[in-house]
């Protein structure tokens, strides 16, 4: 199924890939493609470049769903070759990880007092902003909520940069794994047994160790930490339930994962790794996007012909014959370097196709000579993505 059909038919597209490959740009472009196909589309994005957000008229892109104004949307749609009258809508929302986390806490805490105790806990404040994998978890959780509301025909999810793309699928287990770990159990048990969060009431053996630890980190810190894990344990069931719901949604056939990669061998390796993981978790693969590909240049011409052509260029008028020969040599070297890059990229795309059994379309987007944020850049990107 082509990426164009995926955009027209699926309900959720998830852009995944290693850091900096172009996930956010791809997500924004797929959002535009969705609107062009007449769908009510939402792009749930993470940290878009300011210029990209501005180009979509979203100066204050925040944790709320905002409509991309028609005067920003329609010029791009027209530049792609879409019909304004048939255009759907495009909303965008930037995921605020901390707020998403807070919302889950609010939903599952036993009462508002428990919720506020967790919010105020310094350990929670640290964890909700920094725990590895929590960003992914928050993104997935938000996706679930919005999908449940049913206000959109298509939701495009951008995902955070992770050193290892697997973080994303492991996030729910890691969040609960961190809390279930033996070290945490060990820390919280004496407090739980004592029924109070004070070192004075903690059992002797543990108290000895905790007191020594407290000398380094402060007893308040230890108490905060124990309190947090005890309190958080109570809502952990909620986190697990949400994780399960998200996984169930992501396995549905109306979802498509879009694996974004560069043509760089390491990035392709990560993409393959991620593909394997998708397959083993039975998640629906939609398409591959290989971004920033170096296209092959025009066929090579002989040195004499090149010199003759250069000599005729108005820019080189007034240059000596020796200079023109020098320019030809430089140009020839650059041409060969580009061809070599194009050759490597072609091989990598071939490797990706073979290794993944040609199961999904591989869409190639060339290396543009500048960042993608305006009508021109975005419409060019969308055109490449929709190409058959
Ligand atoms: N084909 C391309 N040609 C030129 N520039 C590109 C191309 N694709 C993306 N870019 C630019 O590369 C930068 C990184 O892209 P983007 O933010 O989409 O990557 P990302 O995968 O979301 O990064 P992160 O992992 O940090 O979230 C942006 O400035 C974008 O405009
Ligand atoms: Mg990004």
* Per-residue pLDDT tens digits for 60-79: 767 788 999 999 999 999 99
Look at residue 326 and tell me if it is in a domain.
yes
Q: Confirm or reject: Cβ of 31 under 6 Å from ligand 1.
A: no
More confident residue, 224 or 290: 290
Two structure tokens written together for 124: 């929670």
Same domain, 382 and 312: no
Look at residue 184 and tell me if it is in a domain.
no
Q: Residue 97 is part of which domain span?
A: 3-170+250-296+350-386
Same domain, 339 and 356: no
pLDDT score for 79: 94
Same domain, 277 and 319: no
Is residue 248 within 8 A of residue 282, CB to CB? The reply is no
Q: Which of 24, 160, 290 to mutate to test the pocket of ligand 1 (most atoms within 8 A of CB)?
A: 24
Same domain, 258 and 336: no
Look at residue 290 and tell me if it is in a domain.
yes
Q: Confirm or reject: Cβ of 377 under 6 Å from ligand 1.
A: no
Q: Confirm or reject: Cβ of 21 under 6 Å from ligand 1.
A: yes
Same domain, 269 and 120: yes
**How far does residue 381's CA lie from ligand 1's centre (Å)?**
11
Q: What is the mean pLDDT of residues 273-293?
A: 93
Percent of the chain with pLDDT over 70: 82
Same domain, 165 and 308: no
Give the angle 368-374-376 at the CA atoms, nearest 5°. Answer: 60
Q: pLDDT tens across 106-152, in order?
A: 888 888 998 998 888 877 787 776 665 666 777 778 888 899 999 99
Look at residue 313 and tell me if it is in a domain.
yes
Same domain, 117 and 163: yes
pLDDT of residue 162 exceeding 90: no
Same domain, 258 and 341: no
Look at residue 14 and tell me if it is in a domain.
yes
Q: Residue 115 sits in a domain of what CATH number? A: 3.40.50.300
Closest of 251, 269, 249 to residue 259, by C-alpha: 269
**Shortest-distance Cα residue to atom 9 of ligand 1:** 22
Look at residue 229 and tell me if it is in a domain.
no
Look at residue 232 and tell me if it is in a domain.
no
**Shortest-distance Cα residue to atom 15 of ligand 1:** 22
Looking at the structure of the chain, the number of domains it has is 2
pLDDT score for 379: 94
Burial (0-12, 13-18, 19+ Cβ within 10 Å), 249 = middle
Burial (0-12, 13-18, 19+ Cβ within 10 Å), 100 = buried
Same domain, 315 and 357: no
Helix then strand then coil, in percent of the chain rounded to 5, is 60, 10, 25
Same domain, 67 and 107: yes
Look at residue 124 and tell me if it is in a domain.
yes
Name the helix (H) or strand (E) containing 121. Answer: none
């Amino acid at each position: 199924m082509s990426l164009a059909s995926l955009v027209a038919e699926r309900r959720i597209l998830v852009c995944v890939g290693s850091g900096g490959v172009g996930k956010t740009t791809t997500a924004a472009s797929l959002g535009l493609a969705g609107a062009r196909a007449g769908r009510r589309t939402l792009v749930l994005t993470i940290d878009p470049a300011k210029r990209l957000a501005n180009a979509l008229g979203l100066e204050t892109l925040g944790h709320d769903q905002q409509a991309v104004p028609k005067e920003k949307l329609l010029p791009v749609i027209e530049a792609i070759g879409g019909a304004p009258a048939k255009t759907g809508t495009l909303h965008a929302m930037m995921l605020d990880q901390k707020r998403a986390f807070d919302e889950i806490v609010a939903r599952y805490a036993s009462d508002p007092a428990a919720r506020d105790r967790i919010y105020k806990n310094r350990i929670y404040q640290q964890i909700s902003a920094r725990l590895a994998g929590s960003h992914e978890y928050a993104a997935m959780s938000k996706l679930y909520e919005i999908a449940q509301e049913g206000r959109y025909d298509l939701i495009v999810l951008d995902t955070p940069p992770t050193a290892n793309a697997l973080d994303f699928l492991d996030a729910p287990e890691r969040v609960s794994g961190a809390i279930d770990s033996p070290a945490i159990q060990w820390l919280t048990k004496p407090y739980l047994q004592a029924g109070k969060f004070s070192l004075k009431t903690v059992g002797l053996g543990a108290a000895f160790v905790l007191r020594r630890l407290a000398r380094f980190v402060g007893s308040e810190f230890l108490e905060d930490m124990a309190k947090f894990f005890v309190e958080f344990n109570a809502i952990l069931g909620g986190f697990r339930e949400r994780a399960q719901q998200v996984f169930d949604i992501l396995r549905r056939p109306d979802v498509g994962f879009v694996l974004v990669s560069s043509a760089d061998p390491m990035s392709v390796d990560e993409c393959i790794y991620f593909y394997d993981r998708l397959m083993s978790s039975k998640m629906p693969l939609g398409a591959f996007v290989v971004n920033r590909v170096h296209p092959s240049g025009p066929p090579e011409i002989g040195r004499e012909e090149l010199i003759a052509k250069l000599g005729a260029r108005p820019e080189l008028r007034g240059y000596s014959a020796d200079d023109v020969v020098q320019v030809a040599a430089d140009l020839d070297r650059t041409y060969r370097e580009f061809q070599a890059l194009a050759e490597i990229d072609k091989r990598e795309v071939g490797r990706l196709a073979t290794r993944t059994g040609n199961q999904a379309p591989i869409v190639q987007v060339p290396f543009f000579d500048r960042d993608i944020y305006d009508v021109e850049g975005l419409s060019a990107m969308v055109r490449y993505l929709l190409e058959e």
